[in-house]
Structure 1
Amino acid sequence: MNNSYLQLLRPYHILPKNPDLYLEALTHSSYANEENLGKDYQRLEFMGDAVFQIVSADMIFKKYPFMQEGEMTKLRIKLVQEVSLAQLGRHIKINTYMRLGHGEEKSHGRDKDSLIADCVEAFLGAIYIDHGFKVAKKVALSWLNWIFKDLPDLEVNDYKSQLQELIQSDSREPLRYVEIKSLGSDNNKTFYFKVVHNGIELGRGKGKTKKEAEQFAAKEALLKVAK
């Protein structure tokens, strides 16, 4: 294989210090065994997984300042689960550069979610080893933002829709979301909302956007109804 696989780095303006690391990140154990290489992507996959975990946790913590720990954990798991990383891998075409043994190639290994996801993690691990955490974080954030944008099943729970369905099962009176106040500067504002039905306040919420505040008001209302 020539150095064409290094095209994967170009969108991030990364010049490899050690090109062999990236080739290792694309090498499945079946290929390594056939070619007696002694190295495959598994160690780099371990490092990439660790980078994804901390960057995704940090991203969620900052993006959703009022989300509870359990929900943050569920969202992080969805973000870096095998199917999400495999979709990302196909998007960046990492599967076209994977080095597979003959048997794995014949069994359509190039299309397997597990192998593609492994290579994505390994490639991120190679970036981390080659350039450190700052550069690896930049790439990881770019990839995670793509997953957020293009995989709609990762949307945060839509509490407003759940509350609407629950209320409309017994009443045709619409819900109203009322802004209570907003605090902070224009660049760092927190909004406070309440949700009202038939003149009765059902719940309150706060968020960095009006939509987020409305969602958390609906969530509080759902929790009250569930009690």
Structure 2
Amino acid sequence: LAAGEWQRGFISLLDKLVEEETGPKGDADIRHHARELQKLLSARDVHPLQARLDLDAKRPLPQPEAHIPVYIAHRITAASTLPPLPPILEPALADAVFTHSAYTNVQKQKGLPVGDNYERLEFLGDAYIEIVASRILHSRFPHIEASQQAHFRENLVKNETLFKFACAYSFPDRLRHGSHLEKNKAWEKIISDTFEAYVAGVVLSDPEHGFEIVEDWLTNLWAPQLLNYQEKMIDNPAARTNLQALICAKGIKLDYREEKPMEMRDGGQQHFFVGVYLTGWGFENAWLGSGEDRAKGDAAINAANDALRR
């Protein structure tokens, strides 16, 4: 007999022996050793029958599909596009990052030991994030106006952006808050604060390399937004010079002034309204054109372009 057939036959005999020794007159030692020998033989790499090999080749079993809840699948998909989360090397800082003040208050009421919460770390992390965003925009977008850089930075560091990053890394699941918190704007602020605290924790736990690690990590996180930046186009950046050359002579004056107060729009964005006026050639403060923009200088250029088109 082939080795595989011999082993299968012997395992069958051991099955019969175990069955016979299970009765009231059976020997417990024989039954025990027969089962152990049966396990050892069954664990060997016994070659399957050729018919089974042929069946597996012709009619393979479908791969089993594990059911993953939708909310877990969503998190896995989101996390797969993220850079690795840098570790916080100091355990006390790591605990503080995910501890809300409500939790520490509950611990105090119970008379239990209380550690730090994330509030002081959030204060510092907020500053680090703004510095990193400023450095990135200053070095990678040197050609855009400071006002545009400030507006772009606001989009990078706003709570909505940090909240999405924190959720992708499952920060809400790690937060100890000690009470029920509704999933609203206040919750979004808490989770974005946790992200800011985490940044501070990484920097403080590694004084030598922490800031460099955070800057590289945030650059990777912000890379899609940085790549998708759409630079604001102005019809004719030299419009003020062109208008000056076309109209002005000795005693002729062009005056650019705000036509109405600056407005603060959504996201804290400034918006200016500027008009250009002519004095000379028989005119006194004659309106020539108007423009508006996030920067006062760009609003003036748009006003000159408006005048040139008329």
Q: When the two structures are superposed, what TM-score results if normalisation uses the length of structure 2?
A: 0.44
Distance in 1, matches of 2:189 and 2:126, equals: 13
Which of the two has greater helix per residue?
1
Q: Post-superposition shift, 1:138?
A: 2.5
| Partner residue of 1:69 out of 116, 131, 146 | 146
Amino acid in the other structure paired with 1:71: Q
1:11 counterpart residue number: 84
**What secondary structure sits across from 2:144 in the alignment?**
coil
1:22-37 correspondence to structure 2 within 5 Å: 22-36=94-108, 37=114
Q: 2: CA distance between counterparts of 1:99 and 1:116?
A: 11
Q: State the superposition RMSD in angstroms.
A: 3.4
Aligned-residue identity in percent: 21
Tell me if structure 1 keeps the 8 A contact 2:137–2:149.
yes
Matched ranges for 1:42-191 at <5 A: 42-104=119-181, 107-108=182-183, 112-132=187-207, 134-149=209-224, 155-159=229-233
Q: 1:112 to 1:12 in 2, by over 3 A?
A: closer
Q: Which runs of 5+ in 2 are unaligned?
A: 1-82, 109-113, 236-298
TM-score by length of 1: 0.59
Instruction: Give the distance between the partners of 2:156 and 2:86, measured in 1 at CA.
Output: 24
Contact 1:89–1:95 (8 Å) recurs in 2? yes
Runs of 4+ in 1 over 6 A off after TM superposition: none
Q: Alpha carbons of 1:225 and 1:124: their partners in 2 closer, same or farther (altered >3 Å)?
A: same
1:146 positional shift: 2.1
Per-residue deviation at 1:79?
0.7
Distance between the aligned counterparts of 1:135 and 1:13, measured in 2? 9
Query: Which structure's relative contact order is higher, taking Cα pairs within 8 Å and 6+ residues apart?
Result: 1
Separation in structure 2 between the aligned mates of residue 150 and residue 158 of structure 1, nearest angstrom = 15
Aligned length: 159
Aligned partner of residue 66 in structure 1, secondary structure:
coil
| CA distance in structure 2 between the aligned counterparts of 1:49 and 1:75, rounded to whole angstroms | 16
Q: Please give the per-residue CA displacement for 1:133-182, whole angstroms capped at 9, x wherever unaligned.
A: 74234324423442341699x7344428xx5xxxxxxxxxxxxxxxxxxx
Maintained 8 Å contact 1:84/1:147: no
User: Which whole-Å CA distance do the structure 1 matches of 2:148 and 2:104 have between them?
Assistant: 40
**Cα deviation code 1:37-86 (max 9, x no counterpart):** 25210000011111111111000001101111111111111110111110
Residues 1:222 and 1:133: Cα distance change in structure 2 (over 3 Å): farther
Q: Using the alignment, how far apart are the partners of 2:138 and 2:145 within structure 1?
A: 10
Cα gap change, 1:147/1:220 in structure 2, threshold over 3 Å: closer, same or farther?
Answer: farther
Whether the 8 Å CA contact 2:96–2:115 is kept in 1: the answer is no
Q: CA deviation at 1:103?
A: 2.9
CA separation of 1:112 and 1:226: change in aligned 2, threshold 3 A: farther
Ranges in structure 1 where 5+ consecutive residues have no aligned partner: 1-9, 164-218
Larger Rg: 2
Contact in 2 for aligned 1:56/1:79 (Cα 8 Å): yes
